[in-house]
Structures are given as structure tokens and as C-alpha cells.
């Protein structure tokens, strides 16, 4: 479990394709990785299978490559990192599972005061789980939805978020990982088809109608 508060920006060192894809990532973390621990990489929950100092190796299954931007990573790609919560840690963002619901595209970027506004496409299947002032996880970053429209939503990045994560360098056309608020998904499950959700929307929330 994570909170969407990024604690480091890592750099992909290399990828090795096979039955699973091995990804080596350089970080600035202390050399205290535990074999089998979870780490969120651009919002994708992955397992540390090997570590050499602050550099660690994770593995991605074919489903992960299909459902996230990981399949487009290359050596030199910068990724947001967050290690899993410990019991007693502060919950500063929102409950994030690291289970990416889909990939969306940045449609526009503009500055407003000292903040930067990202407008991102909203897949139809995920639309029921997005509400204004609700939470969303974009590339592993917990953010508040400032506006929700039929086909897009907007978030606002304060200066700290712009510098502490990779989102400050996003431009129109870039792809990002989305994870809808898990509480909203469970509410949708309880509502079921009677709540007006389609089978596709329920599946997007991780449930079988």
C-alpha cells in the first residue's frame, strides 16, 4: 500500500526482455532494500527481486506492460518512486494500491499563478470513479481533481510537486498511468449495475459484473 507521495525520482538503467521484463533502476535511497519488498514505480506496484546498493531490479509481467506505460520505458527514463508504507507512517496523500487502471494522455498544460495545470484525457470506463475534489493517482503522484469533464479532467501542480516528481516536465501528448480512488471503486462495486455502471466500467474497477 502507498500514499502517492513520491520520495525519489529514479532513472531506468536498463531493461532485459524475456518471459518477464527485468528493469534495473538507479535511485537515491539508502542501501537497505529487502528482497521481495514492494515499490511503486510511476504508480506501478512492483517487487524488488535484487538490489545492488541504491540500484534495484524489479520484474514486470505481460499484464503490467499492457496496462501501464512501463512497456515504453527505455534506458534513461525518469520514474517516480515510493516505497511501501510501514505501520505507523503518516498518510499524507490517499490510499494507493499501485494497481494501474489505465493509460491516459496529457492533452494540455498551462501555468496558473505559480502552479501548473495538467489536463488529461479521461477514459470512458474510468469516468464514474472521477469526481471534482476527489483523488487520483497519476504516475504514482496523489493529486486532487480540480475539474472533471466528459472526456478529460484537470489537476493542479504546486511548485513542490513540479520539482519533486516527473509531472513538472510533462507536455501535451505524453502518456501517464492512472489509478482511480479505490474507495470510489468499491462504492461502484456496491452500486453494481443498478447504479447505472456498464460491465466495462465495473471491469475497469477490477470487478467482474
pLDDT at 195: 57
Among residues 40, 14, 13, which one has the least CA distance to residue 26?
Answer: 13
Question: Domain spanning 8-83 has what CATH number?
Answer: 2.40.30.20
> Is 2 an annotated catalytic residue?
yes
Catalytic option among 31, 34, 35, 61: 61
> Is 165 an annotated catalytic residue?
no
pLDDT at 205: 63
- Residue 165: Cβ within 10 Å count: 26
> Is 102-204 in the same CATH topology as 8-83?
yes
Dihedral over alpha carbons 192, 196, 199, 200 (to 10 degrees): -120
Indicate the pTM of the whole model: 0.89
Catalytic option among 55, 78, 99, 207: 99
Q: Which grid coordinates belong to 37? A: 519488498
> Is 144 an annotated catalytic residue?
yes
Report pLDDT digits (tens) over 137-164: 999 999 999 999 999 999 999 999 999 9
Catalytic option among 7, 11, 38, 121: 38
Catalytic option among 31, 34, 75, 144: 144
pLDDT at 89: 81
Residues of the chain short of pLDDT 50, as ranges, are none
Domain residue ranges of the chain, discontinuous segments joined by +: 8-83, 102-204
> Is 45 an annotated catalytic residue?
yes
Catalytic option among 2, 33, 56, 130: 2
Question: Domain spanning 102-204 has what CATH number?
Answer: 2.40.30.20
> Is 94 an annotated catalytic residue?
no
Cβ proximity of 176 and 124 under 8 Å: no
pLDDT at 95: 87
> Is 60 an annotated catalytic residue?
no
pLDDT at 88: 79
> Is 41 an annotated catalytic residue?
no
Amino acid at each position: 500500500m502507498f500514499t502517492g507521495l513520491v520520495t525519489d525520482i529514479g532513472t531506468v538503467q536498463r531493461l532485459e526482455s524475456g518471459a518477464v521484463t527485468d528493469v534495473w533502476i538507479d535511485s537515491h535511497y539508502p542501501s537497505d532494500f529487502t528482497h521481495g519488498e514492494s515499490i511503486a514505480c510511476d504508480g506501478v506496484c512492483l517487487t524488488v527481486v535484487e538490489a545492488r546498493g541504491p540500484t534495484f531490479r524489479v520484474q514486470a509481467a505481460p499484464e503490467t506492460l499492457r496496462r501501464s506505460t512501463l512497456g515504453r520505458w527505455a534506458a534513461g527514463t525518469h520514474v517516480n518512486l515510493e516505497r511501501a508504507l510501514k505501520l505507523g507512517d503518516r498518510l499524507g496523500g490517499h490510499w494507493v494500491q499501485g494497481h494501474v487502471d489505465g493509460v491516459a494522455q496529457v492533452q494540455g498544460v498551462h501555468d496558473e499563478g505559480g502552479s501548473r495545470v495538467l489536463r488529461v484525457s479521461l477514459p470512458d470506463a474510468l469516468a464514474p470513479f472521477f469526481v471534482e475534489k476527489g483523488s487520483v493517482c497519476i504516475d504514482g503522484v496523489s493529486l486532487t481533481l480540480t475539474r472533471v469533464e466528459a472526456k478529460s479532467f484537470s489537476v493542479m501542480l504546486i511548485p513542490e510537486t513540479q520539482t519533486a516528481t516527473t509531472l513538472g516536465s510533462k507536455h501535451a501528448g505524453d502518456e501517464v498511468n492512472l489509478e482511480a480512488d479505490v474507495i470510489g471503486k468499491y462504492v461502484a462495486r456496491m452500486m453494481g449495475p443498478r447504479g447505472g455502471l456498464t460491465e466495462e466500467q465495473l471491469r475497469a474497477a477490477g470487478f467482474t459484473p
